[in-house]
Structure formats: C-alpha cells, structure tokens
Amino acid sequence: MPTARTASSVNPRPRAKSPAAPARRPAATRTPRTAAPVRKTRSTAAPKLTRISSPRAPVSSPLESDTVIRAATGRSWAQWFRVLDRMDVAEAGHGAVVRRLADEYACPRWWRQRIAAAHAEARGLQAPHKRGLVANTSRTLAVPVGELWRAWQGRAPAKWLQARFKIVRNNENKSLRLNWPDSTSVEIYFWAKGDRRSQVNIMHRQLADADEVAAKKAFWAEALERLRAALE
C-alpha cells in the first residue's frame, strides 16, 4: 500500500501560473541626426571708401536742392560728390572729369559741367566763379502740368512775362532752359502734383551779387503771380 508521501508525489498539486509579462514593443529606430550645413553669408556692408576731408573752399553759389538735381540726373549732390571723390580729379582735370560723367554715368550736358565745377570748388581745386549766384523761385498752381508747361511755349508768355528770351532746351512737361537777354541763363522745372495741381521751379543763374539775386527773385515772384492769374 502506497504511503502518503508516495501518493503526494504521484498526484502533485497544480501550480498557479504566474501572469505573463507584457510583450515589449520593439524599440523605435532612431535616425541619426546630421548637423545642418553651415551657410557662408556674404557681408552686405558697403565697402569702405577713403573719405576726402571736408570742403576747404566755399562753393560760389548755393547748390540746387536734392529734389532738383535728382530729378535731372538721378543722383543727389552727396552721391555725385562720392562719385567724383573716387576719381583722380586733380590729375585728370575738368575736361576729363566732364567726359567721364557723360560716358560712364550718362549725366546731362549742363549738369555734368555744374557738378564737376561745384565739386572742384568744394574740394579747393578750382577758384569760385565771379558770376555764380542763383536766384530760386517756385510756385504751386491749380492747373495740370501740361497746361503749365504750355504757358511757356510760343506766344503764350507774352500774356504774363514781360521779357524776351530764347529757349535752348525744351523737355515737354518736365523742363526748359532759357537764354536771358542779359547773358544769364534760366532753368525751369515742372512737377505734377496730382491731376489738377502742378509746381514750377525757376533757377536764374550766373548772377553777380546778392543785389542781383534779390532783384531776380522779386522779378520772378511777380511774373509767377501774373501766370497764376492767367491760368487759374
């Protein structure tokens, strides 16, 4: 007869199964990081230019406003002076500088003479002209720019301008250049200020002294008021 020990060994008690461990998710494959390429940036700083010292001599006549010279040439006075500062003006001479302004920068004929002379005076390379003063006068009128420009054409000026003159340059709706009876010159610029408004700016050049400047300013102020009365 089997003993109790033997019976227990024959019919062992079933062991409780331990809970199965949760299945592990496969590790995500990591993409190795690559360093972004370093871009070489170009410097946007303007190249340093050798600056010439401040003017050693006064310019004989007041410079035209930047609005006027930029409208006529595309550059301001400061920009033109920087252009000429990069040239060997003293060695080249006035004629060569004027030719370079024409050939390389398409500067208008009268303005290249004016710019070269003003720069030479400002840098002490040329003596001021004796007749270099300018009288400036301007008005804004309530008329289109085309009508204002036509008031200077043909016989129209006889209605309001008490003087004879010869037109030597005529740019429609933009500018005029006149030879005046006293051997001086007059430049006139026109700007549209909308559909029914426009501005005229007059520069009477080659004046000898302050008294002549004052006289021309008074003359043109009265003339432009007569022009306003005729057009408006």
Token code pair at residue 7: 């019976």
Q: Are residues 111 and 157 in the same domain?
A: no
Domain presence at residue 31? no
Q: What's the average model confidence in pLDDT over 216-230? A: 94
150 and 117 within one domain: no
Q: CB under 8 Å to 145, separation ≥6 — which residues?
A: 173, 190, 191, 192, 193, 198
User: In the predicted model, what is the mean pLDDT of residues 1-14?
Assistant: 50
- Answer yes or no: do 117 and 203 share one domain: no
Q: Is the pLDDT of residue 35 over 90?
A: no
In a domain, 46, yes or no: no
Tell me how many domains the chain contains.
2
Residues belonging to the chain: 232
pLDDT tens digits, 140-179: 999 999 999 999 999 999 889 988 899 999 999 999 999 9
Instruction: Answer left, alpha or beta for residue 105, where phi above 0 means left and psi between -120 and 50 means alpha.
Output: alpha
Write the DSSP assignment of 72-94 as a string of letters.
HHSS-HHHHHHHHHTS-HHHH-H
Query: Which CATH number fits the domain that encloses residue 171?
Result: 3.30.530.20
Q: Answer yes or no: do 89 and 156 share one domain.
A: no
Is residue 118 helix, strand or coil? helix
The pTM for the full model equals 0.49
Query: Is there a single domain that holds both residue 109 and residue 137?
Result: no
Kind plus residue range of the DSSP H or E element containing 5: helix 4-10
Burial class for 200, CB neighbours closer than 10 Å (0-12, 13-18, 19+): buried
Q: Is the pLDDT of residue 86 over 70?
A: yes
pLDDT at 182 (0 to 100): 83
- Per the structure, the complete domain to which residue 145 belongs is given by 133-231
Q: Tell whether the model's pLDDT for residue 27 goes beyond 90.
A: no
Are residues 161 and 227 located together in one domain of the fold?
A: yes
Closest by CA to 81, choosing from 42, 108, 110, 54, is: 54
Answer yes or no: do 168 and 98 share one domain. Answer: no
pLDDT per residue as tens digits for the range 120-143: 888 887 655 555 788 999 999 999
Position 215 in a domain: yes
* Residues 170, 113 share a domain: no
Q: Are residues 106 and 162 in the same domain?
A: no
Q: What is the mean pLDDT of residues 87-97?
A: 85
Residue 48 domain-assigned (yes or no)? no
> 28 in a domain, yes or no?
no
Q: Give the span between the Cα atoms of 114 and 227, in whole angstroms.
A: 29
Same-domain status, 83 and 172: no
CA distance 58 to 13: 121
Domain-terminating residue out of 122, 146, 169: 122
Q: Determine the straight-line distance between the first and last CA of the chain, rounded to whole angstroms.
A: 144
Three-state SS for 155? coil
| Judgement on whether residues 86 and 113 belong to the same structural domain of the protein | yes
